[in-house]
């Protein structure tokens, strides 16, 4: 893939995120690994108006190259690519149900087997820290240990993937799980699956693409 194609894919993913209803306005951001760094959506520009040249490149030392400022959240994208070699794309959204649970600093437990698509028996919630800070990034990285997604307290969620397509699909699934968990909590105490069962499901997902519909 060329750099121009990847820039176009990032914009298409950001626009799709809003069209799918998992993000509103300009609150989220999208990035993809490129060369020794990554490409990320710019700060404060509506996705419908974003052109390939507006996408910002951040190099291995965290230096931004482009005509616009990178998303204010570029720091956790930077640390995710640095710390997780398997990740090639990151989607960050303030989707309604994930953010609702995050505002109560709630993790998503193993109430449904699909929680395993995030890599384990829960989707953790990173404690609150101010947006754009190193502290937020450090807390997000801790919540992402052994996981592909996490919630951010009083903020939103992060989903990662081997591609923009898989990161977006995971973001959609995490939001669906947060909605289902929220709904289940309205009528009772959800029955949680055992650690052994979740280990078995995580294992099954290694050879079965649970996000392909």
Binders of Zn ion in range 153-212 (CB under 5 A):
156
Question: Minimum distance from CB of 202 to Zn ion (Å)?
Answer: 28
Residues comprising the chain, all counted: 213
From 3, 48, 49, 73, the catalytic residue: 73
86 is catalytic: no
Segment holding 9, helix H or strand E: helix 3-19
Q: Considering the complex, state which of residue 70 and residue 156 has its C-beta at the smaller distance from Zn ion.
A: 156
Selection from 16, 135, 9, 121 nearest residue 76 by Cα:
135
Q: Considering the complex, state which of residue 112 and residue 139 has its C-beta at the smaller distance from Zn ion.
A: 139
Nearest residue to Zn ion, by Cβ distance, number only: 156
Question: Minimum distance from CB of 158 to Zn ion (Å)?
Answer: 9
Structural tokens at position 90: 């990151």
Binders of Zn ion in range 99-118 (CB under 5 A):
none
Q: Considering the complex, state which of residue 116 and residue 153 has its C-beta at the smaller distance from Zn ion.
A: 153
Question: Minimum distance from CB of 132 to Zn ion (Å)?
Answer: 9
Query: What contacts 191, CB < 8 A, 6 or more positions away?
Result: 111
Query: Mind giving me the DSSP string for 16-52?
Result: HHHHTTS--TT--EEEEEETTEEEEPBTT--GGG--G
Structural tokens at position 53: 């040249």
**Segment interacting with Zn ion, rule: CB under 5 A, options 61-69, 151-159, 163-171, 194-202:** 151-159
Query: What contacts 65, CB < 8 A, 6 or more positions away?
Result: 56, 57, 58, 59
Question: Minimum distance from CB of 72 to Zn ion (Å)?
Answer: 8
Whether the CB-CB separation of 43 and 69 falls below 8 Å is answered with: yes
**Segment interacting with Zn ion, rule: CB under 5 A, options 16-24, 36-44, 111-119, 149-157:** 149-157
Positions marked active-site: 73
Q: What are the residues binding Zn ion (CB under 5 A)?
A: 156
């Amino acid at each position: 893939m060329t750099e121009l194609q990847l820039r176009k894919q990032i914009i298409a993913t950001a626009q799709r995120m809003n069209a799918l209803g998992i993000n509103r306005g300009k609150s989220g951001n999208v990035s993809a690994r490129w060369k020794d760094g990554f490409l990320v959506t710019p700060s404060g520009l509506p996705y419908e108006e974003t052109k390939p040249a507006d996408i910002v490149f951040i190099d291995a030392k965290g230096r931004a190259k482009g005509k616009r400022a990178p998303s204010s959240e570029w720091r956790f994208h930077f640390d995710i690519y640095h710390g997780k070699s398997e990740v090639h794309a990151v989607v960050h959204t303030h989707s309604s149900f994930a953010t609702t649970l995050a505002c109560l600093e709630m993790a998503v437990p193993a109430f449904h087997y699909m929680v395993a698509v995030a890599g384990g028996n829960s989707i953790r919630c990173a404690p609150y820290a101010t947006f754009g800070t190193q502290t937020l990034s450090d807390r997000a990285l801790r919540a992402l240990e052994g996981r592909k997604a996490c919630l951010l307290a009083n903020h939103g969620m992060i989903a990662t993937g081997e591609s923009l397509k898989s990161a977006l699909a995971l973001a959609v699934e995490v939001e669906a799980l947060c909605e289902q968990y929220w709904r289940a909590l309205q009528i009772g105490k959800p029955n949680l699956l055992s650690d052994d069962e979740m280990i078995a499901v995580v294992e099954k997902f290694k050879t079965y693409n649970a996000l392909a519909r």
